[in-house]
Amino acid sequence: MSLDIIIKNGRVIDGSGNPWFRADVGVEGGVISAVGNLKGLAAETAIDAKGMVVAPGFIDIHSHSDVPILVDRRGLSKVRQGVTTEVVGQCGSSAAPVNEKVREYRERYGRSSVPDDFHITWGTMAEYMDEMDGGASLNIAPLVGHGTVRQDVMEYENREPTDAELNKMKKLVAEAMADGAWGLSTGLIYPPSVYGKAPEITELAKAAARRGGIYFSHIRGEGETLLDAVKEACEIGLNAGAPVQISHFKASGRPSWGKTVQSLAMVEEYRGKGVDVTFDQYPYVASSTGLTALLPHWAHEGGAEKMLERLRDPETRRRLREESRIVYNWDEVMVTKAKNHPQYNGMNLKQVSEAVGKDPYDAMFDLLIAENTQVQSVMFGLNEEDVVRVMRSPYMMVGSDASAICPEGVWADSRPHPRAYGTFPRVLGKYVREGVLSLQEAVRKMTGAPAHRMGFKDRGLLRVGYRADITVFDPAKVRDEATFTDPQRYASGIPHVIVNGVPVVKKDKYTGALPGRALRKPI
């Protein structure tokens, strides 16, 4: 008998949370065909995993690779850290469904991380998934974004929908779910999702739940209003009959440090009421989002064009100064992507303001104007004690909150959050070694737990009959190399990654293979 791949001499951690056991792993036809003593069997490819762990491929349950993985299908920042599947369409923003107006809007105002010759060619979720089936280094499982369907129907209007508009949004969600989406996401600090109130979102979550969908939420507040926001997410799940996944669970801003004690207790409370609430986390004390998130919600009404008008108007700028949501010091907000002004990438707003000879507010407003509102940033506002407390929860899963990118091309001059390259090895290399998690529990939070949460029937565990998504890492050497000052560095200690039975990383080198596909939720 001959197999496609044999991984020999490794310690298997199968993703269930159980301790490791010694076994060989055989792969044939894209599937795990044998786990045990495979001595005497031949294979086209043999991997000696002596001293290493053989685990299921890591599942990034919170990713923003919807379009970046189509811009550069290698997705090197993720596969080089062992990720084989990503859940995209997060924070209320999905690649589909998009009508002609939304396509035009994104072509005009969403180009900070795409080359000039890249264009949106799809409309429906089915068409987007077909585009993904053209191949990538990893698999993609999309959600449908509340902000996307709201923009389809209502553009950037800050009001409640009419009955007809709500029905149109429910129809779009139902169609996306029928096309194979895995749930609904909201981004309740980002327009236009922020304009939706709980009753509206509950109705859309019901439409997703009817087809087994999950309600993912970037909640309405992660700082001062954290507890109210966690409660809102749980109540939506309760009233919609949907499981709830709270995104990048944290307490943001110094005045809110320590609130994770209460927010975790609230999760337990709602689980006691029968709401299936879980959450994900990235292992850093800094967050990342668009710089426009610091502006008040009213500044976003009408979309980017209206925002630019407000930023240019002296009287409105005075109001923006008074009402912008600045809970950080200026040296705690770092520019990571200003496409037309790369000299500012890696500088904090205090440094930018000094460079241009203006106060930080004017420097920020002018940079947003110059970049057509498209500026990415990192905010240093989290606390290590909260990070550890959240990580230890049995309901926590690992999610990068980052895109699959590459260190060249359109991203060459950017300074992304290091989580894009380092999330999973940081958990294994820092928090496991520090005793925060056992090795098998860390692997479970990256594999079996997110697979179970998503309903992936044949991924997330290293068992016979499952898809051959496999990551081989050295527990003594695995570590994140990406830093905030040098973020585009690949992880160490993850020499082999297999996706759908095809090696995509072999001996620390990308193989050029693109075996990844769109994963469609069974109807």
Cβ atoms of 41 and 26 closer than 8 Å: yes
CATH number at residue 126: 3.20.20.140
In a domain, 435, yes or no: no
Tally of CB atoms within 10 A around 198 = 15
Domain shared by 413 and 340, yes or no: no
Domain shared by 306 and 179, yes or no: no
Last residue of a domain, one of 378, 408, 431: 378
In a domain, 423, yes or no: no
Cβ atoms of 446 and 426 closer than 8 Å: no
- Cβ-based burial of 342 (10 A; exposed 0-12, middle 13-18, buried ≥19): middle
Confidence of residue 419 (pLDDT cuts 50, 70, 90): very high
CATH number at residue 9: 2.30.40.10
Domain shared by 85 and 63, yes or no: yes
Domain shared by 214 and 270, yes or no: yes
In a domain, 343, yes or no: yes
Tokens representing 502 are: 């095809």
Last residue of a domain, one of 378, 401, 430: 378
Overall number of domains in the chain: 3
Distance CA(349)–CA(334), nearest Å, equals 6
In a domain, 463, yes or no: yes
243 phi and psi angles, rounded to 5 deg: -60, 150
Structural domain of 463: 1-56+458-477+489-511
Q: What is the mean pLDDT of residues 146-151?
A: 99
Q: If we measure between CA atoms, which residue out of 82, 91, 121, 69 comes closest to residue 519?
A: 69
Domain shared by 95 and 193, yes or no: yes
Supply the pLDDT for residue 115: 86
Domain shared by 254 and 318, yes or no: no
CB neighbour list of residue 435: distance below 8 Å, 6 or more residues apart: none
CB neighbour list of residue 26: distance below 8 Å, 6 or more residues apart: 3, 5, 6, 7, 32, 33, 34, 35, 38, 41, 43
In a domain, 429, yes or no: no
Cβ atoms of 244 and 233 closer than 8 Å: yes
In a domain, 441, yes or no: no
Supply the pLDDT for residue 112: 72
Domain shared by 361 and 507, yes or no: no
Distance CA(242)–CA(4), nearest Å, equals 40
Domain shared by 75 and 47, yes or no: no
Confidence of residue 325 (pLDDT cuts 50, 70, 90): confident
245-264 residue pLDDT tens: 999 999 999 999 999 999 99
Does pLDDT of 1 surpass 70? no
Last residue of a domain, one of 356, 378, 400: 378
Q: If we measure between CA atoms, which residue out of 233, 277, 268, 282 comes closest to residue 453?
A: 277
Domain shared by 203 and 323, yes or no: no
Tokens representing 74 are: 């290698």
Domain shared by 203 and 298, yes or no: no
23-69 residue pLDDT tens: 999 999 999 999 999 998 999 999 999 999 999 999 999 999 999 99
Domain shared by 93 and 182, yes or no: yes
In a domain, 97, yes or no: yes
Domain shared by 340 and 366, yes or no: yes
Supply the pLDDT for residue 414: 85
Q: If we measure between CA atoms, which residue out of 290, 289, 286 comes closest to residue 368?
A: 290
Q: In this prediction, what percent of the chain has a pLDDT beyond 90?
A: 93
Q: How many helices (H) and strands (E) does the chain have?
A: 17, 21
pLDDT averaged over every residue in the chain:
97
90-132 residue pLDDT tens: 999 999 999 999 999 999 887 777 888 899 999 999 999 999 9
Looking at the whole model, is its pTM more than 0.85?
Answer: yes
In a domain, 444, yes or no: no
